[in-house]
Amino acid sequence: MNTNSSRRSALKNILGGAAIVSAPITFSEAFAANQKVLGAELNGKINHSACRWCYNKIPLEELCQEAVKMGIKSIELQGPDEWPILKKYGLTCAMPWGAGKGINDGFNDLKLHDELVASYEDIFPKLKAAGLDKVICFSGNRRGMSDEQGLENCAIGLKRLMPSAEKYGITMTMELLNSKVNHPDYMCDLTKWGVALCDKVGSDKFKLLYDIYHMQIMEGDVIATIKKYNKYFSHYHTGGVPGRNEIDDTQELNYPAIMRAIVETGYKGFVGQEFIPKRPDAIASLKQGVTICDIA
Protein backbone atom coordinates (compact mmCIF):
# COMPACT_ATOMS: atom_id res chain seq x y z
CA MET A 1 0.00 0.00 0.00
CA ASN A 2 1.22 3.48 -0.80
CA THR A 3 0.85 5.12 2.61
CA ASN A 4 1.42 8.61 1.22
CA SER A 5 -1.42 8.39 -1.31
CA SER A 6 -3.73 6.52 1.10
CA ARG A 7 -3.45 9.16 3.79
CA ARG A 8 -3.64 11.99 1.28
CA SER A 9 -6.80 10.42 -0.18
CA ALA A 10 -8.38 10.11 3.26
CA LEU A 11 -7.54 13.74 4.02
CA LYS A 12 -9.08 14.92 0.74
CA ASN A 13 -12.33 13.09 1.53
CA ILE A 14 -12.60 14.57 5.02
CA LEU A 15 -11.74 18.21 4.37
CA GLY A 16 -15.20 19.00 3.04
CA GLY A 17 -17.00 18.23 6.31
CA ALA A 18 -18.66 21.13 8.13
CA ALA A 19 -20.95 19.78 10.86
CA ILE A 20 -20.96 21.44 14.26
CA VAL A 21 -21.38 19.02 17.15
CA SER A 22 -23.43 19.85 20.22
CA ALA A 23 -22.18 18.13 23.40
CA PRO A 24 -24.78 17.40 26.09
CA ILE A 25 -22.23 15.30 28.01
CA THR A 26 -18.45 15.21 27.85
CA PHE A 27 -16.48 12.66 25.87
CA SER A 28 -15.04 11.20 29.09
CA GLU A 29 -18.49 10.74 30.62
CA ALA A 30 -19.80 9.03 27.51
CA PHE A 31 -16.69 6.84 27.28
CA ALA A 32 -17.02 5.74 30.89
CA ALA A 33 -20.67 4.82 30.36
CA ASN A 34 -19.88 2.82 27.22
CA GLN A 35 -16.87 1.08 28.72
CA LYS A 36 -18.90 -0.23 31.65
CA VAL A 37 -20.84 -2.23 29.10
CA LEU A 38 -18.21 -3.03 26.48
CA GLY A 39 -14.70 -2.78 27.81
CA ALA A 40 -12.05 -3.30 30.45
CA GLU A 41 -9.85 -0.66 32.02
CA LEU A 42 -6.20 -0.25 31.08
CA ASN A 43 -3.35 0.94 33.27
CA GLY A 44 -4.13 4.59 32.57
CA LYS A 45 -0.63 6.00 32.14
CA ILE A 46 -1.15 6.34 28.38
CA ASN A 47 -4.26 7.76 26.72
CA HIS A 48 -4.69 5.54 23.68
CA SER A 49 -5.90 6.63 20.24
CA ALA A 50 -6.11 4.99 16.82
CA CYS A 51 -5.67 6.67 13.43
CA ARG A 52 -8.74 6.04 11.31
CA TRP A 53 -6.99 5.89 7.93
CA CYS A 54 -5.05 2.77 8.97
CA TYR A 55 -8.36 0.91 9.42
CA ASN A 56 -10.41 2.41 6.60
CA LYS A 57 -11.63 -1.02 5.45
CA ILE A 58 -13.50 -1.36 8.75
CA PRO A 59 -16.80 0.58 9.03
CA LEU A 60 -16.33 3.49 11.42
CA GLU A 61 -19.04 2.41 13.86
CA GLU A 62 -17.54 -1.08 14.06
CA LEU A 63 -14.09 0.41 14.68
CA CYS A 64 -15.58 2.61 17.43
CA GLN A 65 -17.14 -0.41 19.14
CA GLU A 66 -13.88 -2.34 19.01
CA ALA A 67 -11.94 0.68 20.28
CA VAL A 68 -14.13 1.00 23.35
CA LYS A 69 -13.68 -2.71 24.10
CA MET A 70 -9.91 -2.20 24.09
CA GLY A 71 -9.99 0.92 26.25
CA ILE A 72 -9.03 3.23 23.36
CA LYS A 73 -10.48 6.69 24.00
CA SER A 74 -10.01 8.32 20.59
CA ILE A 75 -10.28 7.70 16.87
CA GLU A 76 -8.24 10.46 15.27
CA LEU A 77 -7.57 12.14 11.94
CA GLN A 78 -11.30 12.60 11.47
CA GLY A 79 -13.18 15.68 10.28
CA PRO A 80 -16.39 17.34 11.49
CA ASP A 81 -18.75 14.89 9.75
CA GLU A 82 -17.29 11.99 11.76
CA TRP A 83 -17.16 13.64 15.20
CA PRO A 84 -20.83 12.89 16.05
CA ILE A 85 -20.25 9.18 15.33
CA LEU A 86 -17.28 9.13 17.68
CA LYS A 87 -19.31 10.97 20.32
CA LYS A 88 -22.05 8.32 20.06
CA TYR A 89 -19.55 5.80 21.45
CA GLY A 90 -17.99 8.14 23.98
CA LEU A 91 -14.84 8.58 21.92
CA THR A 92 -12.99 11.80 21.28
CA CYS A 93 -10.87 12.81 18.29
CA ALA A 94 -7.48 13.50 19.83
CA MET A 95 -6.00 14.89 16.62
CA PRO A 96 -8.72 16.21 14.27
CA TRP A 97 -8.43 17.58 10.80
CA GLY A 98 -10.85 19.48 8.61
CA ALA A 99 -8.78 22.47 7.47
CA GLY A 100 -5.84 23.12 5.20
CA LYS A 101 -4.94 21.67 1.80
CA GLY A 102 -3.16 18.48 2.81
CA ILE A 103 0.40 17.38 3.41
CA ASN A 104 2.11 18.72 0.30
CA ASP A 105 0.65 22.25 0.29
CA GLY A 106 1.20 24.00 3.57
CA PHE A 107 2.32 27.12 5.38
CA ASN A 108 5.69 27.38 3.68
CA ASP A 109 3.91 28.70 0.57
CA LEU A 110 3.06 32.39 0.96
CA LYS A 111 0.54 32.20 -1.89
CA LEU A 112 -1.58 29.77 0.15
CA HIS A 113 -1.70 31.79 3.35
CA ASP A 114 -5.03 33.54 2.79
CA GLU A 115 -6.74 30.26 1.95
CA LEU A 116 -5.11 28.38 4.81
CA VAL A 117 -5.89 31.08 7.37
CA ALA A 118 -9.54 31.17 6.27
CA SER A 119 -9.91 27.40 6.52
CA TYR A 120 -8.42 27.22 10.01
CA GLU A 121 -10.41 30.19 11.27
CA ASP A 122 -13.49 28.36 10.02
CA ILE A 123 -12.68 25.12 11.86
CA PHE A 124 -11.68 26.66 15.23
CA PRO A 125 -15.23 27.36 16.50
CA LYS A 126 -16.40 23.94 15.30
CA LEU A 127 -13.60 22.27 17.24
CA LYS A 128 -14.48 24.21 20.37
CA ALA A 129 -18.19 23.37 20.01
CA ALA A 130 -17.26 19.69 19.70
CA GLY A 131 -15.10 19.79 22.83
CA LEU A 132 -11.85 19.33 20.88
CA ASP A 133 -8.69 21.33 21.45
CA LYS A 134 -6.21 20.47 18.67
CA VAL A 135 -6.01 20.43 14.89
CA ILE A 136 -3.34 19.09 12.57
CA CYS A 137 -1.40 21.21 10.09
CA PHE A 138 1.51 20.77 7.69
CA SER A 139 4.54 22.65 6.43
CA GLY A 140 4.14 21.61 2.80
CA ASN A 141 6.86 20.42 0.42
CA ARG A 142 10.07 22.33 -0.27
CA ARG A 143 9.80 22.56 -4.08
CA GLY A 144 13.29 24.02 -4.22
CA MET A 145 12.77 26.39 -1.26
CA SER A 146 15.47 26.58 1.41
CA ASP A 147 14.59 25.39 4.90
CA GLU A 148 15.41 28.87 6.22
CA GLN A 149 12.95 30.55 3.85
CA GLY A 150 10.33 27.90 4.58
CA LEU A 151 10.73 28.56 8.30
CA GLU A 152 10.16 32.28 7.76
CA ASN A 153 7.14 31.67 5.52
CA CYS A 154 5.50 29.20 7.91
CA ALA A 155 5.95 31.58 10.83
CA ILE A 156 4.32 34.43 8.90
CA GLY A 157 1.20 32.40 8.16
CA LEU A 158 0.94 30.73 11.55
CA LYS A 159 1.34 33.99 13.47
CA ARG A 160 -1.76 35.26 11.67
CA LEU A 161 -3.72 32.39 13.23
CA MET A 162 -2.44 32.50 16.78
CA PRO A 163 -4.91 35.12 18.07
CA SER A 164 -7.84 32.98 16.89
CA ALA A 165 -6.24 29.76 18.12
CA GLU A 166 -5.69 31.32 21.52
CA LYS A 167 -9.24 32.70 21.59
CA TYR A 168 -10.78 29.27 20.98
CA GLY A 169 -8.21 27.30 22.97
CA ILE A 170 -7.04 25.27 19.96
CA THR A 171 -3.47 24.01 19.60
CA MET A 172 -2.37 23.94 15.97
CA THR A 173 -0.07 20.95 15.68
CA MET A 174 2.35 20.52 12.80
CA GLU A 175 3.30 16.94 12.05
CA LEU A 176 6.91 15.86 11.71
CA LEU A 177 7.07 13.48 8.72
CA ASN A 178 9.91 11.62 7.06
CA SER A 179 11.02 12.77 3.62
CA LYS A 180 13.10 9.66 2.93
CA VAL A 181 10.38 7.02 2.46
CA ASN A 182 6.79 8.25 2.66
CA HIS A 183 6.71 12.00 1.99
CA PRO A 184 9.52 13.02 -0.38
CA ASP A 185 10.38 16.74 -0.24
CA TYR A 186 8.28 17.44 2.89
CA MET A 187 9.87 20.33 4.78
CA CYS A 188 9.05 19.71 8.46
CA ASP A 189 11.11 16.51 8.53
CA LEU A 190 13.47 17.15 11.47
CA THR A 191 12.68 17.87 15.11
CA LYS A 192 15.11 20.80 15.32
CA TRP A 193 13.44 22.53 12.36
CA GLY A 194 10.02 22.10 13.98
CA VAL A 195 11.31 23.35 17.32
CA ALA A 196 12.81 26.42 15.63
CA LEU A 197 9.41 27.11 14.06
CA CYS A 198 7.68 26.82 17.44
CA ASP A 199 10.13 29.32 18.91
CA LYS A 200 9.61 31.69 15.98
CA VAL A 201 5.80 31.51 16.20
CA GLY A 202 6.07 32.15 19.92
CA SER A 203 2.68 30.85 21.07
CA ASP A 204 1.77 27.96 23.35
CA LYS A 205 -1.00 27.19 20.84
CA PHE A 206 1.45 26.03 18.21
CA LYS A 207 3.25 22.73 18.81
CA LEU A 208 4.47 19.61 17.03
CA LEU A 209 3.15 16.12 16.43
CA TYR A 210 6.13 13.90 17.18
CA ASP A 211 5.63 10.86 14.96
CA ILE A 212 7.97 8.20 16.34
CA TYR A 213 7.96 6.18 13.12
CA HIS A 214 8.84 9.14 10.93
CA MET A 215 11.52 10.53 13.24
CA GLN A 216 13.18 7.14 13.73
CA ILE A 217 13.66 7.08 9.95
CA MET A 218 14.93 10.66 9.76
CA GLU A 219 17.10 11.05 12.84
CA GLY A 220 16.75 8.21 15.39
CA ASP A 221 17.65 8.99 19.01
CA VAL A 222 13.94 8.92 19.86
CA ILE A 223 14.03 8.75 23.66
CA ALA A 224 16.70 11.44 24.02
CA THR A 225 14.72 13.69 21.66
CA ILE A 226 11.52 13.19 23.67
CA LYS A 227 13.33 14.03 26.89
CA LYS A 228 14.95 17.14 25.42
CA TYR A 229 12.09 18.62 23.40
CA ASN A 230 8.91 17.25 24.99
CA LYS A 231 7.55 20.71 25.81
CA TYR A 232 7.17 21.31 22.07
CA PHE A 233 5.10 18.13 21.49
CA SER A 234 1.31 18.09 21.82
CA HIS A 235 0.76 14.61 20.36
CA TYR A 236 2.57 11.37 19.50
CA HIS A 237 2.15 8.71 16.80
CA THR A 238 3.50 5.17 16.67
CA GLY A 239 4.50 2.89 13.78
CA GLY A 240 6.82 -0.04 13.24
CA VAL A 241 10.21 0.61 11.63
CA PRO A 242 10.90 -0.56 8.99
CA GLY A 243 7.65 -0.88 7.04
CA ARG A 244 5.16 1.06 9.17
CA ASN A 245 3.50 -2.17 10.28
CA GLU A 246 2.87 -3.72 13.71
CA ILE A 247 4.94 -2.30 16.59
CA ASP A 248 5.89 -5.68 18.06
CA ASP A 249 9.23 -7.54 18.03
CA THR A 250 9.24 -7.71 14.22
CA GLN A 251 10.68 -4.17 14.13
CA GLU A 252 13.49 -2.15 15.66
CA LEU A 253 11.84 0.21 18.16
CA ASN A 254 11.34 -0.56 21.85
CA TYR A 255 7.89 0.94 22.37
CA PRO A 256 7.49 0.16 26.10
CA ALA A 257 10.71 2.08 26.78
CA ILE A 258 9.54 4.94 24.57
CA MET A 259 6.17 5.09 26.36
CA ARG A 260 7.93 5.18 29.74
CA ALA A 261 10.04 8.09 28.52
CA ILE A 262 6.89 9.94 27.38
CA VAL A 263 5.17 9.37 30.73
CA GLU A 264 8.27 10.52 32.64
CA THR A 265 8.02 13.91 30.91
CA GLY A 266 4.61 14.43 32.54
CA TYR A 267 2.74 14.19 29.24
CA LYS A 268 -1.03 13.78 29.71
CA GLY A 269 -2.17 13.80 26.08
CA PHE A 270 -2.79 10.96 23.62
CA VAL A 271 -0.61 8.48 21.78
CA GLY A 272 -2.09 7.53 18.41
CA GLN A 273 -1.44 4.11 16.88
CA GLU A 274 -0.61 4.89 13.25
CA PHE A 275 0.71 1.63 11.85
CA ILE A 276 -0.74 -0.28 8.91
CA PRO A 277 -1.71 -3.79 10.07
CA LYS A 278 0.02 -6.43 7.96
CA ARG A 279 -1.83 -9.36 9.48
CA PRO A 280 -5.34 -10.34 8.34
CA ASP A 281 -6.91 -9.50 11.72
CA ALA A 282 -6.37 -5.75 11.90
CA ILE A 283 -8.28 -5.41 15.17
CA ALA A 284 -6.04 -7.99 16.85
CA SER A 285 -2.99 -6.03 15.67
CA LEU A 286 -4.44 -2.80 17.05
CA LYS A 287 -5.15 -4.47 20.38
CA GLN A 288 -1.60 -5.82 20.47
CA GLY A 289 -0.24 -2.32 19.82
CA VAL A 290 -2.31 -0.83 22.63
CA THR A 291 -1.20 -3.61 24.98
CA ILE A 292 2.48 -3.02 24.13
CA CYS A 293 2.11 0.71 24.86
CA ASP A 294 -0.02 0.28 27.98
CA ILE A 295 2.85 0.35 30.41
CA ALA A 296 2.28 -0.40 34.10
- Measuring CA to CA, which residue among 61, 145, 73, 49 is closest to residue 104? 145
pLDDT in the model for residue 43: 86
Q: What is the mean pLDDT of residues 105-132?
A: 98
- Measuring CA to CA, which residue among 292, 267, 296, 287 is closest to residue 50? 287
Instruction: Report the C-alpha gap between 147 and 144 in whole angstroms.
Output: 9
For the sheet with 171-175, list strands across it. Answer: 74-76, 47-51, 270-273, 233-237, 206-211, 171-175, 134-137
End-to-end CA distance of the chain: 34
Q: What is the mean pLDDT of residues 264-292?
A: 97
pLDDT at residue 17 tops 50: no
Domains in the chain (CATH in brackets) are 3-293 (3.20.20.150)
- For 109-157, what is the HEC assignment? CHHHHHHHHHHHHHHHHHHHHCCCCEEEECCCECCCCCHHHHHHHHHHH
Q: What percent of the chain has pLDDT over 70?
A: 86
pLDDT at residue 130 tops 50: yes
CA-CA distances (angstroms) from residue 156 to 29, 104, 151, 232, 278?
39, 18, 9, 19, 41
pLDDT at residue 91 tops 80: yes
Torsion angle in degrees (nearest 10) through CA of 101, 129, 96, 91: -150
Across the strands, what pairs with 136? 173
pLDDT in tens, 156-209: 999 999 999 999 999 999 999 999 999 999 999 999 999 999 999 999 999 999
Contact, 53 vs 237, CB < 8 A?
A: no
